[in-house]
Amino acid sequence: MAVASTAASPAVKIAVQGLVKTFTTNGNVVEVIKGLDLNVYAGETLAVVGASGVGKSTLLHILGTLERPTRGTVIWEGEEVFTLDDRRLAAFRNRKVGFVFQFHYLLPEFDALENVMMPALIARVPKSKAREDAEAILVRVGLQHRLRHRVSTLSGGEQQRVAVARALVLKPEVLLADEPTGNLDSHTGADIIDLLCAIREEKQTTLVMATHDAAIVDSMRKRVIELEYGKVVRDQSRGVYGQAY
């Protein structure tokens, strides 16, 4: 289903309309997302904040097509993505979206280079090209001296840098980061945020980040939405979290 847009409107990358997501636990139905509407604009940095359990991670998973909504639509540049079957949706996700999670989910039996190559190999990129692209992005995140080190020998900050590189190796249009500094000390976490924002600026990637850390949001000074009870209760274009700008 295509969605019309006007030339005067900002470029909408992802349009979310009437989003509902429920889970059933022990026979009880829990509604985590409750009729949420949201536009994510191309090239922007968007922080998603709110207390634990308000649906931040669920929203990111749905934006990135990792989970299907119970009701509602998610439209990427005019395409209603959840009309795709699972195989086509997986191909769409691998091509369009990069993910960075609180835990790095790297494969411990492989080194940094092999971990970053993995999405490209899954996408059937020739091995030589996958290696070239993986090396380039690892250099960009400051790990040129750690290419052949197994991830178990890396520090927490280095492991998360490998995870960032893996998310970016296929040059995704949208980067989704779910509490990417949650397992890091404040200094290392600030470095990862600076890295994500710098790469977003360089590549003009759309960045959506879920966090409960007000200091991170303040440092980003970008658009912030706050979730409460499964809905957007505040959409602030710029400035310090919790203050007018």
Quick: pLDDT tens for 166-177: 999 999 999 999
The whole-angstrom separation of Cα 200 and Cα 46 is 11
Residue type, 89: L
Q: What percent of the chain has pLDDT over 90?
A: 54
pTM: 0.86
pLDDT of residue 5: 47
The whole-angstrom separation of Cα 107 and Cα 94 is 18
From the list 120, 64, 72, the residue with the least C-alpha distance to 92 is 64
pLDDT of residue 120: 93
The whole-angstrom separation of Cα 38 and Cα 19 is 9
45-49/206-210 β-pairing? parallel
Q: What is the mean pLDDT of the chain?
A: 87
pLDDT of residue 53: 83
For residue 7, the SS3 value is coil
The whole-angstrom separation of Cα 164 and Cα 166 is 5
pLDDT of residue 6: 47
For residue 68, the SS3 value is coil
Residue ranges in the chain assigned as alpha helix (H): 56-63, 86-96, 112-122, 127-140, 156-168, 186-203, 214-220
Q: Is the predicted pLDDT of residue 195 greater than 90, yes or no?
A: no
Decide: residue 92, CB within 10 A, 0-12 exposed, 13-18 middle, 19+ buried.
Answer: middle
Residue type, 243: Q
71-76/12-25 β-pairing? antiparallel
For residue 50, the SS3 value is coil
Task: Please name every residue paired with 171 in a beta bridge, in sequence order, or none if there are none.
Answer: none
From the list 72, 42, 67, the residue with the least C-alpha distance to 175 is 42
* Minimum mean pLDDT range among 98-102, 110-114, 132-136: 98-102
